[in-house]
Structure 1
Amino acid sequence: MTREGTARNPAAWQVQSLLLGYPDERLLEQVPLVRAVTETLPDRVAEPLRRFLGHLDRTPATDLAADYVTTFDHRKRNCLFLTYYAHGDTRNRGAALLRLKQAYTAAGLRLTDDELPDHLCVVLEFAATGDPEAGRRLLTEHRAGLELLRLALRDARSAWADVLDSVSATLPPLAGDEREAVAKLAAQGPPEEQVGLAPFAPPEFMPAPTGGRS
């Protein structure tokens, strides 16, 4: 990634954070400003956002809201809480949430009572306005979960997949071990999760069959 592209990441993360939020009247009122900021970003980051903004323009607000709830609130495979992918609903997730909250506090960012620190919108907001380098490290640390979410949204033909495409464009490409982590999550689901363990990702991220019971 070029130095110029890296310098523009905070603006991209701010836009992505807004667009991944619930599409209420407040968000829709900010679309003209979001569009103006988008046009200052590199094409690889901006083009997916342009597609999503076009979707906002042509979709009734009630349909957007219903689609958002169906996409993110009713499907664990489209989870916006990043520590869920790595830790499931285990005690390790609590420790991971605490570390995130401590990082935000150190940067002067205070969360409201209804915000969890691992929500992707919150992480992107921190990266945009708190500590960009620390925020980029957090996003990269959760690269496998982000990729799994992106693929799940793309597989479901969700409009929000474009926003995840844009997020991915601000991060380093997946390394070999990260691809392995995506495959493992796709096959097994989050740790100790007992419900909804159907494969999370398209076939290219699934391990080859090893035999056994059919």
Structure 2
Amino acid sequence: MTEEKATMLLIVSRILDYPNADFHAGRSSLIASIKESVADLALRKEMVKRIIPLYKMKTRDLQELYVETFDHQEKTSLYLTAHELGDSRKRGLALIELQNLILDTGFVPVGKELIDYIPRLLELLAVASESDALSRLEKRLAFAIHRIVNHLPHSNSYRNVLELLSKDVFAAPLEDEMEQLAFEREEADLDPLPYPMLYQ
């Protein structure tokens, strides 16, 4: 994986974390990281252009947008196996298998989220050595990111950030892959969810 793609994964993984009180304080270091690691000027400008609108929002407004975007709808959830399996009982086994994969890489996720939390998996792809298992994980994430983007309005600033991955990092999922993953899913009992899930 190129340094530019790794940087994009790390930047987006940080943006997709719940925007706590320290979110805006990280703006300068994030922009500096883009300028240092992304050689392509057009891509660098595109990244900054898509990210800055989130930093221009007040913390409370941004938190409300985050919850509205990711916590109320299963189709835009930030949990990988929710996109792959829905409410299926297979999710438990899938989480164990994913945890074993992560342990094998030596990566130690930070935070209290479930092991399939997409921001942490993006970070894993950015820092871990390439392998067949991680290549498969990359395809799974491509499917989830594609699904999230397709279920967000164009006006949503988080969609604009996620499109960086669907355009410049992940290959578009093949139609048969999309159909197979959709076939294995089981719909949630309630959509939207009956309560917001906050990550602090």
TM interval, short-chain normalised: 0.7 to 0.9
Tell me which residue corresponds to 2:186.
Answer: 191
Residue 171 in structure 1 maps to residue 135 in structure 2: no
- Indicate conservation of the 8 Å contact 1:45/1:170, yes or no: no
Change (3 A) 1:137 1:129: same
Rounded to whole Å, the distance in 1 between the matches of 2:135 and 2:4 is 12
Please report how far the alpha carbon of residue 142 of structure 1 lies from its aligned counterpart in structure 2 after TM superposition. Answer: 3.5
Equivalent pair of 1:18/1:27 in contact (CA under 8 Å): no
Distance 2:134 2:191 in 1: 30
Matched residue, 2:147? 148
Q: Which residue is equivalent to 2:12?
A: 16
Q: Compute the displacement of 1:6 (Å).
A: 3.0
What amino acid is the match of 1:56?
L
CA shift for structure 1 position 181: 5.2
CA–CA separation in structure 2 for the residues paired with 1:149 and 1:112: 23
TM-score for the superposition, normalised by structure 1: 0.75
The residue type equivalent to 2:5 in the other structure is: N
Q: Note closer, same or farther for the CA distance 1:6–1:167 as it changes in structure 2 (3 Å cut).
A: same
Q: Cα deviations across residues 125-146 of structure 1 (Å, max 9, x unaligned)? A: 1112233555453121232222
Inter-partner Cα distance in structure 1 for 2:191 and 2:99: 28
> Contact 1:85–1:189 (CA<8 Å) still a contact in 2?
no
Shift in CA distance, 75/10, structure 1 to aligned 2, threshold 3 Å: same
1:34 aligns with 2:30: yes
For residues 140 and 127 of structure 1, what CA distance do their matches in structure 2 show? 11
Which segments of 5 or more consecutive residues in structure 2 lack a partner in the other structure?
193-200
Structure with max Cα Rg = 1
| Contact 1:46 1:166 (C-alpha < 8 Å) held by counterparts | no
Q: 1:88 aligns with which of 81, 86, 89?
A: 86
Deviation, 1:29, is: 1.4
Question: What is the CA–CA distance in structure 2 between the aligned matches of 1:158 and 1:176, rounded to whole Å?
Answer: 26
Q: Deviations over 1:105-142 (max 9, x none)?
A: 11112335722121111101111223355545312123
1:124 counterpart = 2:122: yes
Q: 1:99 to 1:180 in 2, by over 3 A?
A: same
Q: Which of 1 and 2 has higher RCO (CA within 8 Å, sep 6+)?
A: 2
Deviates more, 1:100-109 or 1:45-54: 45-54
**Root-mean-square deviation (Å):** 2.7
> Which stretch of structure 1 is more off in the superposition, 17-26 or 139-148?
139-148
Alignment-mate amino acid for residue 13 of structure 2:
S
Counterparts of 2:177 and 2:42 in 1: how far apart (Å)? 21
Whether 2:82 is the aligned partner of 1:50: answer no
Mapped contact 2:143–2:178 kept (Cα < 8 A): yes
The number of residue pairs the alignment matches comes to 188
Return the letter of the residue paired with 1:157.
S
- Paired with 2:46 and 2:81, the residues of 1 have a C-alpha distance of 25
- Is the deviation greater in 78-87 or in 131-140? 131-140
Give the conservation status (yes or no) of the 8 Å contact 2:74–2:82: no
* Amino acid across the alignment from 1:24: N
